[in-house]
């Protein structure tokens, strides 16, 4: 099994030629500076890759108020069926707490309790989910912390499913973005967080709830995620927006008012879309070359990428794809043999390299074809002489053996 050296076939492709790549800004285009913020802590992540587009004190631990309910919703939605019926425990709410006024003993489906916890941020709904899922609030908090560790939220800790101020209940802007991205991967949660209002049909009576995220109410491309506010935590918003197939998630923590919270989050989302793009110069299984098969005229083999490359890049970065594959393949080679590479360059700098493989086995030349190719190549005259010399020697040996057999026959007679 070998791959004979041959002149390499190099293909240069601009990322803009790929169907999944967003259009690039013209070379030298000016990328806007990040907007000024009122929030003391903020972060912006791209949802599909988890790449960080912006961070300002993003690792600072802070109280997170009702954005805590993102973890409450994620643990619930991935632990129990949405149609499970839960019984509301007694809940003693403070005068300023948001609730849907569940009566102790009232029965409501998980799906409606999640809508109530995420949209109007009802504390009694979150408390009911905790008891329904884990049997007690303490046990449920243990599930929240375990899920935080699984998600790699190293600077988050939970002590309540509701989000009221507690020194043991904290997170960071970066961790909240990661948590929101995880929650958005659950279809029911993603759909719910994008709703302006919802009708809760289970329970003692029908209830209509409204999303407190005013950006969802007034900006068409904003589709989540969760608000939060207490006197100690300030105003918090984890906001997501989708444009052209790309989603960014922005967290702002500790804003002084709802208006500044909304302005900060919206400004960060707009800036991210104006400044960055997601490029996919390589897709797993994409055919990047079709070299010929040596000795088999007209036969070619598809060469494909072994993995997808997807990156978040500034819009002024130029991306090239360099593909190196021999013009001709010499068998035998098995299916998925590595025969080349594809290198992704960003502004001329290495970004990723992916092996390229055959989609089928490459056959070996037959004996006669190999002899024919040898005769066509350099030194073919020597090869002919050697071949003829070998044939003469073979004939001489056969003649000697025949004479010896004849002599032996005569003596035996």
Per-residue H/E/C for 199-256: EECCCCCCEEEECCCHHHHHCCCEEEEEEEEECCCEEEEEEEEEECCEEEEEEEEEEC
* pLDDT (0 to 100) of residue 379: 52
CA–CA dist 377, 117 (Å, integer): 78
Please state, for a pLDDT cut of 90, what percent of the chain lies above it. Answer: 79
* Residues constituting the chain: 413
Is the separation of the CB atoms in 286 and 302 below 8 Å? no
Q: Which residue has the higher pLDDT, 366 or 241?
A: 241
- The rounded Cα 199 to chain-centroid distance in angstroms is 33
| Residue 236 phi, psi dihedral angles, 5° rounding | -130, 145
CA–CA dist 247, 368 (Å, integer): 60
Task: Specify the DSSP class assigned to residue 167.
Answer: T
* pLDDT (0 to 100) of residue 365: 78
Over 90: is that where the pLDDT of 116 sits? Answer: yes
Q: Which residues contact 186 (CB under 8 A, 6 or more apart)?
A: 74, 77, 78
CA–CA dist 179, 153 (Å, integer): 8
Domain 41-276 part of CATH 3.40.710.10: yes
Is the separation of the CB atoms in 91 and 104 below 8 Å? yes
Over 80: is that where the pLDDT of 254 sits? Answer: yes
Query: The pTM is what?
Result: 0.81
Report, as an integer, the average pLDDT of 361-388: 58
Nearest to 255 by CA among 34, 123, 49, 63: 63
Q: Which residue has the higher pLDDT, 8 or 106?
A: 106
Report, as an integer, the average pLDDT of 387-411: 50
Residue given tokens 């403070």 in the structure block: 94
Pairing of strands 328-329, 292-293: parallel
- The confidence band for 150, taking pLDDT boundaries of 50, 70 and 90, is very high
CA–CA dist 413, 407 (Å, integer): 10
- The confidence band for 96, taking pLDDT boundaries of 50, 70 and 90, is confident
pLDDT, tens digit, for every residue of 121-137? 999 999 999 999 999 99
Lowest mean pLDDT: which of 67-76, 281-290, 379-388?
379-388
Nearest to 178 by CA among 204, 149, 213: 149
Pairing of strands 349-358, 287-289: unpaired
pLDDT, tens digit, for every residue of 163-192? 999 999 999 999 999 999 999 999 999 999
* pLDDT (0 to 100) of residue 72: 98
Report, as an integer, the average pLDDT of 10-16: 50
CA–CA dist 136, 329 (Å, integer): 66
pLDDT, tens digit, for every residue of 29-46? 678 999 999 999 999 999
Count Cβ neighbours within 10 Å for each residue of 37-71 and write b for 16 or more, e otherwise: bbbbbbbbbbbeeebebbbbbbebebbbbbbbbbb
- The confidence band for 58, taking pLDDT boundaries of 50, 70 and 90, is very high
Nearest to 35 by CA among 363, 261, 270, 326: 270
* pLDDT (0 to 100) of residue 376: 56
As a whole number, the mean pLDDT across the chain is 88
Is the separation of the CB atoms in 243 and 235 below 8 Å? no
- The confidence band for 385, taking pLDDT boundaries of 50, 70 and 90, is very low
The H-assigned helical ranges of 245-366 are 258-275
Report, as an integer, the average pLDDT of 243-250: 96
Q: Which residue has the higher pLDDT, 373 or 412?
A: 373
Residue given tokens 């068998």 in the structure block: 331
What residues does 287 pair with on adjacent strands? 304
Question: Which CATH topology does 8-20+283-358 take?
Answer: Peptidoglycan synthesis regulatory factor (PBP3), Domain 2 (2.60.410)
pLDDT, tens digit, for every residue of 354-368? 999 999 999 997 654
Over 60: is that where the pLDDT of 399 sits? Answer: no
Please state, for a pLDDT cut of 70, what percent of the chain lies above it. Answer: 81
CA–CA dist 358, 1 (Å, integer): 14
pLDDT, tens digit, for every residue of 221-238? 999 999 999 999 999 999
């Amino acid at each position: 099994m070998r791959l004979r050296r041959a002149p390499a076939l190099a293909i240069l492709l601009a990322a803009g030629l790929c169907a999944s790549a967003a259009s690039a800004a013209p070379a030298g285009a000016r990328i806007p500076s990040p907007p000024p913020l009122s929030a003391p802590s903020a972060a912006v992540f791209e949802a599909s890759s988890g790449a960080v587009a912006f961070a300002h004190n993003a690792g600072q631990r802070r109280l997170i108020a009702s954005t805590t309910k993102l973890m409450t919703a994620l643990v619930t939605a991935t632990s129990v069926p949405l149609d499970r019926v839960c019984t509301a425990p007694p809940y003693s709410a403070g005068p300023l707490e948001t609730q849907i006024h569940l009566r102790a003993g009232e029965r409501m489906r998980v799906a409606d309790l999640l809508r109530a916890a995420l949209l109007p941020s009802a504390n009694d709904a979150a408390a009911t989910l905790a008891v329904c899922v884990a049997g007690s609030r303490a046990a449920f908090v243990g599930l929240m912390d375990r899920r935080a560790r699984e998600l790699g939220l190293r600077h988050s800790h939970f002590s309540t499913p509701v989000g009221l101020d507690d020194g043991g209940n904290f997170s960071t802007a970066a961790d909240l973005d990661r948590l929101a991205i995880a929650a958005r991967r659950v279809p029911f949660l993603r759909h719910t967080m994008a709703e302006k209002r919802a009708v809760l049909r289970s329970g003692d009576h029908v209830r209509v709830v409204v999303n407190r995220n005013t950006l969802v109410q007034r900006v068409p491309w904003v589709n989540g995620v969760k608000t939060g506010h207490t006197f100690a935590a300030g105003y918090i918003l984890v906001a997501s927006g989708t444009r052209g197939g790309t989603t960014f998630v922005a967290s702002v923590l500790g804003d002084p008012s709802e208006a500044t919270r909304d302005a900060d989050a919206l400004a960060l989302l707009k800036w991210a879309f104006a400044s960055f793009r997601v490029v996919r110069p390589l897709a797993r299984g994409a055919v990047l070359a079709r070299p010929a098969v040596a000795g088999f005229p007209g036969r070619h083999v598809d060469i494909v990428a072994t993995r997808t490359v997807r990156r978040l890049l500034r819009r002024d970065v130029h991306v090239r794809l360099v593909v190196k594959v021999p013009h001709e393949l010499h068998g035998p080679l098995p299916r998925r043999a590595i025969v080349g590479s594809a290198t992704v360059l960003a502004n001329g700098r290495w970004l990723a390299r992916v092996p390229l493989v055959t989609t089928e086995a490459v056959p070996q030349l037959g004996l006669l074809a190999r002899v024919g190719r040898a005769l066509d190549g350099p030194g073919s005259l020597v090869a002919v002489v050697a071949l003829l010399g070998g044939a003469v020697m073979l004939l001489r040996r056969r003649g000697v053996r025949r004479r010896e057999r004849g002599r032996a026959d005569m003596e035996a007679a």
